[in-house]
Amino acid sequence: MNKISEYRHQNILVIGLAKSGLAAAKLLHSLGANVTVNDLKATHEDSSVIELSRLGIEVICGEHPLTLLEDKKIEVIVKNPGIPYNNPLLTIANEKALPIITEVELAYKISEADIIGITGSNGKTTTTTLIYEILKTDDQNPLIAGNIGTVACEVAQAATADNVIVMELSSFQLLGTIEFRPAIAIVLNIFNAHLDYHGTREDYVLAKSKIYENQIQSDYAIINYDDHEVCEMSEKSHAEKIYFSTKKDTVDGAYVMSDAIYFRGEKIIDLKDIVLPGEHNLENILAAVAAVKMRGASNQSIYKVLTTFTGVKHRLQFVDTVEGRRFYNDSKATNILATSKALQAFSQPTILLAGGLDRGNEFDELTPYFESVKAVVLFGETAPKIERIATEYGIEVIKRVDNVDQAVSTAFTVSEEGDVILLSPACASWDQYRTFEERGDIFIQAVHKLK
């Protein structure tokens, strides 16, 4: 890693532990910073707190003392991406014009490897994984990091110039960047999401657009030609612009023509040979193809991955077939756009399992995609709202249950051979489950119990 000196002897506050806070605190300590950590929920008995204390890092638990910035003469704040900016300490920090960053900014500054950054409202994990798998098949020594589960600054410490870091990035992470500059930047799409965090769609888009804004002419900006908002965002980038499109076959980049994927006039693969289902995944595939081609990946490597890659866990993941019913786990579908795209992936009669955290929105935008839906099984806080639109659409079989486990058995009883049973909640999981992964795992276990 690059042993940068800019943080040496600086007083830095890390707010929020979890994986990213722990990694950031240890990294900054190794770079010579005077680090203080503050976490509201942590206790002095937690293993991460004990580990940091042994390094001589002070950890303040159980409160956010409002005098902390002054007492410690803090010069920089590294915050956990999930902590909102209306946190009282961050409000004071903003008034003092202190830099507030996330750990991906640290990762960029210490990385010897190029970074491919992927963001968007939907499809980030699938696209990130596709790029990683293609580059791995192409022997380009990729490392995977970011919002996908591996802390970016940890990966960056291990990376050398022979690696390339494929980094999934959320709007929360990007908002806390200043100099961050990926060699290849991708924005997949923009849809209303996380407005409870950002406040307005405009602020959400501004956060996403930071992936482009520091790019220079030697970099590449991968742009969804079919999303006018992404095209507008890309105007911030000074990089070479590479487009992808499922609708237009004259773009400079990756596109669909004659039932095949092409890149700049060169045929890559027939659509019939791709095993990953769904129109939305076609967008993800095109974005991945554009990115890896700019890294010089061979068509053979692309073809090998696209003919074997069946999806990422919890993202339109095929689980099993039980008595002729095909079960798909799309627990990562935490908003309406994701669920609408999942529904478009199937022409077979579909039983939709949906519901979850109520963020105040309605679900009427789902109804144009109900054509193949023969029944809905609903759970969680939003069950009444989704029941309303399903009733208005004319779906005759509507069931309300207590949880995902019950939803699986109920869906099976109202299904027939040849049906698709799809968990695609259109909501976050936090009303009943800690994470969308936990929700998806329960779905998988319930499917296996049917056998």
Confidence category of residue 196, pLDDT binned at 50, 70, 90: low
Confidence of residue 334 (pLDDT cuts 50, 70, 90): very high
Query: 146-160 b/e with 16+ CB inside 10 Å = b?
Result: bbbebbbbbbbbebe
Question: Per-residue confidence at 198, pLDDT binned at 50, 70, 90?
Answer: low
**Least confident among 194-198, 235-239, 391-395, 418-422:** 194-198
User: For the chain, what's the residue count?
Assistant: 451
Tell me the backbone φ, ψ of residue 144, rounded to 5 degrees: -115, 140
- The whole-number pLDDT of residue 283 equals 95
According to the annotation, is 126 in a ligand binding site?
yes
Predicted local distance difference test score (pLDDT) of residue 223: 98
Establish whether 129 is an annotated binding residue.
no
Each residue of 416-427: b (16+ CB within 10 Å) or e? eeebbbbbbbbb
186, 47, 228, 167: which is closest to 17 by C-alpha? 47
> What share of the chain in percent tops pLDDT 70?
98
Residue 10 has pLDDT above 90, yes or no: yes
Q: What is the DSSP string of 304-367?
A: HHHTT---BTTBSEEEEEETTEEEEE-TT--SHHHHHHHHHT--S-EEEEE-----S---GGGG
Q: Quick one: what percent of the chain has pLDDT higher than 90?
A: 88
Residues 6+ apart with CB under 8 A from 227: 187, 189, 190
**Is 124 flagged in the annotation as binding?**
yes
Please tell me whether 122 is known to bind a ligand: yes
pLDDT, tens digit (0-9, with 9 covering 90-100), for 135-182: 999 999 999 998 776 899 999 999 999 999 999 999 999 999 999 999
Encode pLDDT of 304-326 as tens digits: 999 999 888 898 888 999 999 99
pLDDT grade, residue 442 (50/70/90)?
very high
What pLDDT shows up at residue 141? 98
Q: Decide if pLDDT at 238 tops 90.
A: yes
**Domains of the chain with bracketed CATH:** 11-101 (3.40.50.720), 106-306 (3.40.1190.10), 317-450 (3.90.190.20)
Confidence of residue 197 (pLDDT cuts 50, 70, 90): low
Does the annotation list 361 as a binding residue?
no
| pLDDT value of residue 168 | 97
At 264-291, the pLDDT tens digits run: 999 999 999 998 878 879 999 999 999 9
125: annotated binding-site residue? yes
Give the pLDDT score at 195.
59
Within 13 Å of residue 297, how many CA atoms lie on the same side as its CB? Answer: 31
Q: What angle do CA 25, 27, 28 make, to 5 degrees?
A: 65
**pLDDT tens per residue across span 86-105:** 899 999 999 999 999 999 99
pLDDT in tens, 34-87: 999 999 999 999 999 999 999 999 999 999 999 999 999 999 999 998 898 889
What's residue 82's pLDDT? 85
